[in-house]
């Protein structure tokens, strides 16, 4: 694994272990990656740049899982269903990375907007396609916000062991789509 990849991987692991970006330092990341602190500066000018690279990489992995790997169906309902399922599979398979995406640290908030909003924009487009297919005049952004809130809630409940809704991932997403009037 290349040094930059080890640094990003180490940053993700430490952020998860410490529960906060604010509790992680350049020195601790270097130590975890098995490189000297000065080696980090060959790749990143400062801590903020390393954190930005870490957030960008993590959001890219999430985007690929939720949007890139599912492909586009000819039917917007199937595309939205697959995207919701992929979201939950990512969160449950990679809880550490998922927690980094939604870190509430001050350093992460601007980066979340920078890297996360384009991913959310893809959800808005998928919801808009479903609304159009259903001849539904609701505002796509408002409905997409509800979809995100619902899916994020399912993921958080699953990760904390408080799952209130049984069933498979597929059943949970289908239920959400039905309840939000996004089914066929």
Q: Quick one: average pLDDT of 3-27?
A: 88
pLDDT at 109 over 70: no
Residue pair 184/136 in contact by the 8 Å Cβ criterion: no
> How far are the Cα atoms of 61, 127, 133 from residue 171, in angstroms, in the given order?
24, 19, 22
Q: Select from 111, 101, 108 the least CA-distant residue to 155.
A: 101
What number is the average pLDDT over the span 94-109? 77
How do the domains of the chain map onto residue ranges? 54-179
Within the chain, what is the greatest distance between any pair of CA atoms?
A: 59
State the CATH architecture for 54-179: Orthogonal Bundle (1.10)
pTM of the model: 0.88
Average pLDDT over residues 80-84: 94
């Amino acid at each position: 694994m290349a040094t930059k990849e080890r640094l990003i991987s180490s940053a993700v692991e430490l952020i998860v272990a410490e529960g906060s970006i604010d509790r992680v330092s350049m020195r601790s990341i270097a130590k975890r990656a098995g490189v000297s602190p000065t080696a980090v500066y060959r790749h990143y000018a400062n801590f903020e740049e390393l954190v930005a690279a870490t957030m960008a990489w993590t959001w890219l992995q999430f985007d690929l899982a939720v949007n890139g790997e599912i492909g586009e169906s000819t039917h917007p309902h199937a595309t939205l269903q697959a995207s919701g399922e992929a979201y939950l599979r990512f969160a449950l398979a990679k809880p550490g990375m998922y927690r980094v995406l939604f870190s509430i640290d001050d350093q992460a908030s601007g980066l979340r907007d920078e890297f996360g909003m384009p991913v959310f924009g893809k959800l808005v487009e998928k919801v808009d396609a479903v609304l159009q297919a259903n001849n539904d005049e609701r505002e796509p952004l408002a409905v997409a916000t509800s979809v995100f809130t619902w899916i994020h809630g399912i993921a958080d409940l699953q990760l904390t062991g408080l799952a209130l809704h049984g069933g498979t991932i597929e059943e949970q997403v289908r239920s959400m789509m039905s309840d939000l009037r996004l089914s066929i």
